[in-house]
């Protein structure tokens, strides 16, 4: 990623969960699917189509592009509800509410973009979880805003350095990560050097 490019808002969710995961995806361009990512793709298939609709006086806009030149971030909101001129971002997630704040940071970053674009203060948004079929209201208080700004700066620094950070200390998060084997190949019985050599042979074939 070049320095002039805006940071994807989705990358902030990755960075909050694990800064190394974000660097593997957005710096080293690595990716792997698992059941969780596949379920997320299915969930977003509807919101990614875009469109608008009006319900009970609330205008709902799907797949709305947002950005902040001040913060250097950009992305697409799953849905933004407009009650009059006031925007209310809603992010769709598979699963259920989590103990970490990665989803909240992603939503707050969307709100920061909307605030810059509309000139209004957005007090709250919502996370919709497919497993529970419920919305969770997320207040954009000073604590969440501070966390979000810190994550933006941490990820920007990591991307600018070109160095992938070490694995997260929250080992329980590794079990649900689709990049687990790419991140820590030595745990699968293969030393890193041998693993990298095998990957090069897969990619380059007889050229090496």
d(CA 24, CA 1): 12
136 phi and psi, to 5 degrees? Answer: -115, 120
User: pLDDT band at 34, cuts 50/70/90?
Assistant: very low
List, in order of start, the domains of the chain with CATH numbers.
Answer: 7-166 (3.90.320.10), 178-208 (no CATH)
For the chain, the first-to-last Cα distance in angstroms comes to: 27
Beta bridge partners of 86: 83
Nearby residues of 101 by Cβ (< 8 Å), 6 or more positions away:
16, 144, 147
d(CA 169, CA 183): 13
User: pLDDT band at 124, cuts 50/70/90?
Assistant: very high
- Would you say the pTM of this structure is higher than 0.85? no
């Amino acid at each position: 990623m070049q320095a002039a490019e805006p940071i994807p808002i989705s990358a902030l969710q990755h960075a909050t969960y694990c800064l190394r995961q974000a660097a593997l995806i957005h710096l080293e361009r690595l990716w792997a699917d698992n059941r969780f990512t596949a379920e997320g793709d299915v969930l977003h298939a509807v919101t990614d189509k875009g469109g608008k609709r009006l319900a009970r006086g609330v205008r709902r806009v799907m797949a709305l592009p947002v950005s902040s030149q001040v913060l250097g971030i950009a992305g697409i909101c799953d849905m933004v509800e407009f009650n009059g001129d006031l925007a209310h971002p809603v992010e769709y997630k598979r699963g259920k509410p989590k103990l970490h704040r990665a989803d909240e940071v992603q939503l707050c970053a969307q709100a920061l973009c909307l605030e810059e674009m509309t000139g209004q203060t957005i007090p709250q948004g919502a996370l919709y979880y497919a497993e529970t079929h419920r919305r969770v209201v997320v207040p954009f208080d000073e604590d969440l805003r501070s966390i979000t700004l810190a994550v933006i700066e941490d990820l920007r620094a990591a991307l600018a350095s070109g160095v992938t950070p070490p694995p997260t200390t929250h080992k329980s998060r590794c079990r649900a990560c689709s990049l687990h084997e790419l991140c820590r190949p030595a745990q699968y019985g293969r030393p890193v050097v041998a693993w990298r050599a095998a990957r090069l042979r897969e990619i380059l074939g007889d050229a090496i």
